A and B are shown apart, each in its own frame.
Chain A
Amino acid sequence: MAGMKVIGEKFKNDKIFVPGVLVAARAMNTGMEILKPKLIESGVQSAGKVVIGAVESDLHDVGKNLVAMMLEGAGFEVYDLGTDVPTEEFVKKAKEIDADIVGLSALLTTTMNEMGTIIEALEKAGIRDKVSVMVGGAPITEDFAQEISADFYAKDAAEASNVAKDIKKKIAS
């Protein structure tokens, strides 16, 4: 887990590249499969629950997958809904698992507006104040995140992991 933090830093500083992150994540996942039963046995708590996905009509998964891996590496329980995820799926899953964070990804300027729709839907479902909404993707900016009332914007996977840890602290306090 601490290893993924190193990977995140190195990725940010162009010391390693996308293939390196993917290899590290594969190693982490293999390790986690062995460790998971032991962790559950010894009652170790996860850092928090995350629902993540690319919004409706958006089929791009690279960035979203990197973020999911970084979050897992940071100790979060990640529920990855994949790509082209309808609004109601985000809401349903967030309710079902009692999520702490909803992570929304969009690569297209045509799909980024879905993010606002999802935030409104979370509000309507009465769980907006229970979850922190984190948004990211190539066309997304800090301004856009504020415009749609998202809680956090992350520029890349490394930043997403740092943001999630800040949220974690907020949850703990």
Chain B
Amino acid sequence: MIIIGAQINTSEHEEIIDIIENKDKKRLLEITKHQLDLGAEMIDINAGQRIKTEVEDIAWMIETIQSEFEIPISIDTPNQEVFKECLKKHNNNYGRPLVNSVSGENERLNKILPLVKKYNAKVVGLLMGEEGIANKPTERVKVADKILKRTRELGIKDEDVFLDPLVLPVSVDTDNPLTTIKTLRLIKDQFPDVKTICGLDNISYGLPERPLVSSIFVAMMASAGLDSFLVELSNVTYSTIKTVEMLKGKDDMCMDYIKQYKADKLDIYKPGKMEVL
């Protein structure tokens, strides 16, 4: 599974705003490294709160991070202008960028998908259409149909499309997790080449010990076929992911799991071990 670190988000962490304003390269790189150490293979950047300077802020962060680390970036915005300018700045030699995201709304599809094609990016498709978020998995999958029709027309390969079945908080409605999992299974059945993705942390909104909830949920999603996810990495999610990979048969002779244990990285349920960053 591809893990995308979600720490660099101005709406979640005020520190990111300070970093941008002070052009604090050192701290930005520290936060990036921390996420890479915890298993992230791609770094998500969201500067949505900086409406007036979103383009230049994201461009600066892409350039700064890629000047130090050879990793691809997930550009997190609904704003096509940001994609237009920032995809140019991205160094595709370090992996292809992820356009995060486009919804199933016509206007968004029309404006953003051509940029995905032009810059040879991958793209996240949210399963919400003109009518918002459907409650029924079968309704959500209809949006997948619509998105894929458009990506295929443009010649974007299915394997470069990451569909998001949408994760809503369990604290608000306890049917939410299973709706997501059922949607994920339907996507996997109907579109075997398409990839799947989700934002994990939404599941635990409004509950205590959020990393615990997120990490159990990622195990459930993994068994339903999840390919990648965005997460605020903690040692709990890290340990869970390592264990899940092993249980899915992806860790030959359980060597990685044992290596993590020896590095004292799997010791997750001790009190005080669950802090995020």
Contact = CB atoms under 8 A, between A and B. Distances in A.
B48 interface: yes
A19 B206 CA distance: 8
Interface string A13-29: 01001110010000000
B206 A139 contact: no
A17 B171 CA distance: 8
A62 B49 contact: no
Nearest to A83: B132
Binding site secondary structure of chain A = loop
A138 interface: yes
B11 A62 contact: no
Contacts of A83: 132
Given A18-B205, A19-B206, A110 B78 contact: yes
Q: Which of A14, A62, A84, A113 has the most CB of B within 10 A?
A: A62
Contacts of A110: 48, 78-79
A59 interface: yes
A149 interface: no
A59 B79 CA distance: 17
Contacts of B171: 17-19, 22
B154 to A, nearest CB: 24
Interface string B120-161: 000000001000110000000000000000000000000000
Contacts of A18: 169, 171-172, 205-207
A146 interface: no
A109 interface: yes
B271 interface: no
Interface string A54-67: 00000100100000
A139 B49 contact: yes
A108 interface: yes
Contact of A113 (B51, B128, B133, B206): B51
B206 A17 contact: yes
Contacts of B272: none
B48 A108 contact: yes
Interface string B154-192: 000000000000000101100000000000000000000
B51 A109 contact: yes
A22 B169 CA distance: 13
Interface in A46-90: 59, 62, 83-84
B25 to A, nearest CB: 24
Interface of A: 14, 17-19, 22, 59, 62, 83-84, 108-110, 113, 138-139
Given A59-B133, A108-B48, 10 more contacts: A17-B171, A17-B206, A17-B207, A17-B208, A18-B171, A18-B206, A59-B128, A62-B172, A110-B48, A138-B11
11 contacts: A17-B206, A19-B171, A22-B172, A59-B132, A62-B205, A108-B78, A110-B78, A110-B79, A113-B51, A139-B48, A139-B49
